[in-house]
Amino acid sequence: MNVSEWAVLTGAVLIALFFSIAHYTLRNPSRVRLERAFAGPRRAGWLKQLDDRLEDWLLVTALIRTVMYLFMMLAIVRLHGTGGWEGDLIALVIGTAVVSVFGIGLPHAWAKYAGEATLVVLWPAIRAASMICWPITRALKTLDLPVRRLSGHTEVANGVSEVEQEILQLASEGQAEGELDPDELEMITSVIEFHDSRVSEIMTPRTDIRGLAVTSTREECVRTILEGGHSRLPIYEDTLDSVVGVLYAKDLLGVAPEAPFDLATTMRKPFFVPETKAISDLLKEFRTQKVHMAIVLDEYGGTAGLITIEDLVEEIVGEITDEFEEPEPEVFQRIDETTVEVDARMYIDDLNDEMPINLPEEEDYDTVGGFVFSTLGYIPAAGEQFEYARAKFTVLEAEQRRINRIRIILPPAEEPEAEAS
């Protein structure tokens, strides 16, 4: 009996099995299950090592299991090979079956359901193996840069963490299986993407701001509040670039009608934020500062727009319409397969995601209205048309200083030419 060959085969199978489980787990880990498995002060240090040197651990586990595959095949050939083609072929078939079961099938399934928990148990062995294999893995890593350059691959930061990606994936699967309705999925997605949005993306632009001069009378203040239905209005000196305060409607109601009125003493101190601020940070500041509206400043200190706490809430729950607001047209409205109507403030990358048009983005503009203005070189009147990349653009609504709504008609899809009879 070939005891040594059987011992080598058994050991190689077990080591290959465990390191294959580790490798498959490291290739596509569940971040939530990883943090649960590595809970505790000591294991938290292991998890940090895993995150910091993930590529090293992948190389180590791949190297060890590959070496074990070779030992498995060698032991099987020693056990069943006869020196002829027939015996070697039998050994090859047996070896392929053993590797397929213990090196691929079982570890892949185990990693899918319990890989993270097993990884914790195997971690000391993986660390020991990494120290032994360090010269080899170091040499293998030197191949990464030339291969990356040869393939033309560039690393780009995703902006969304692994945990967030996993939550989005689970939510999408839940919606596909009927456990979540589309509105719930949209809300979860909005919460995940909330911290990536900037103030400039959701603010009310300067051109839409309704404000009051600091010299306004009580009657002018009341009339403006009633006309616009806003409970807070920015107060400015000379122009909107010089906002000096914010008038709250409830503060105006607190002034006795017979008392002398001075807007400068009734208004509150304004709260300013840069247009590059993350809206997640702004929400925290709204809570700590106990304010509900901020004046947004551009890089030159001028007023770029304003943003309210309602704008932040709408990023999560969707559009909120109160009794004073008239329903606005949808930002993106599909008329038919080739025709859409869009708000001029719609971002170009959002439009490109919705339809196959691929409008260019430039530093000077990032909205559809900005594209139209840049293409024509002037603000068009309602009804004007032009073509770009075979798509027909029609200005539906426009004012003297801005474009409001645009219709886009794509060219009909080219039908395949009929075969010659």
For residue range 261-309, list pLDDT tens digits in order.
899 999 999 999 999 998 888 988 998 998 999 999 998 889 999 999 9
More confident residue, 75 or 159: 75
- Give the mean model confidence (pLDDT) for residues 200-228: 91
User: Is residue 12 a part of any domain in this protein?
Assistant: yes
Q: CA-CA distance, 251 to 240, in Å (whole number)?
A: 21
Q: Mean pLDDT score of the chain, rounded to an integer?
A: 83
Residue 56, Cβ neighbours under 10 Å: how many?
19
Position 419 scores a pLDDT of: 41
Q: CA-CA distance, 397 to 374, in Å (whole number)?
A: 17
Position 123 scores a pLDDT of: 86
User: Is residue 326 a part of any domain in this protein?
Assistant: no
pLDDT tens profile 121-135: 888 888 898 888 888
The neighbouring-strand residues paired with 387 are 392
Same domain, 192 and 239: no
Same domain, 297 and 396: no
Give the amino acid at 9: L
- Give the mean model confidence (pLDDT) for residues 325-335: 76
User: Is residue 184 a part of any domain in this protein?
Assistant: yes
Give the amino acid at 250: K
Position 274 scores a pLDDT of: 94
Same domain, 206 and 170: no
Q: CA-CA distance, 204 to 372, in Å (whole number)?
A: 20
Same domain, 224 and 243: yes
Q: CA-CA distance, 195 to 239, in Å (whole number)?
A: 32
pLDDT surpassing 80 at residue 331: yes
Same domain, 91 and 139: yes
pLDDT surpassing 80 at residue 369: yes
Burial 240-258 (b: 16+ CB within 10 A, else e): beebbbbbbbeebeebeee
If one counts the domains in the chain, the total is: 4
Poorest-confidence range of 168-172, 249-253, 369-373? 168-172
| CATH number, domain with residue 243 | 3.10.580.10
pLDDT tens profile 136-187: 888 887 877 677 677 765 554 444 455 566 667 767 777 776 777 777 777 7
The neighbouring-strand residues paired with 362 are 365
Burial 26-45 (b: 16+ CB within 10 A, else e): beebbbebbeebbeeeeeee
Full domain range(s) for residue 251: 199-317
* pLDDT band at residue 81 under the 50/70/90 scheme: low
Altogether, the residues listed in the chain come to a count of: 421
Same domain, 235 and 306: yes
DSSP state of 325: P
- Say if residues 421 and 404 touch (Cβ distance below 8 Å): no
User: Is residue 227 a part of any domain in this protein?
Assistant: yes
Position 353 scores a pLDDT of: 85
Q: CA-CA distance, 37 to 43, in Å (whole number)?
A: 8
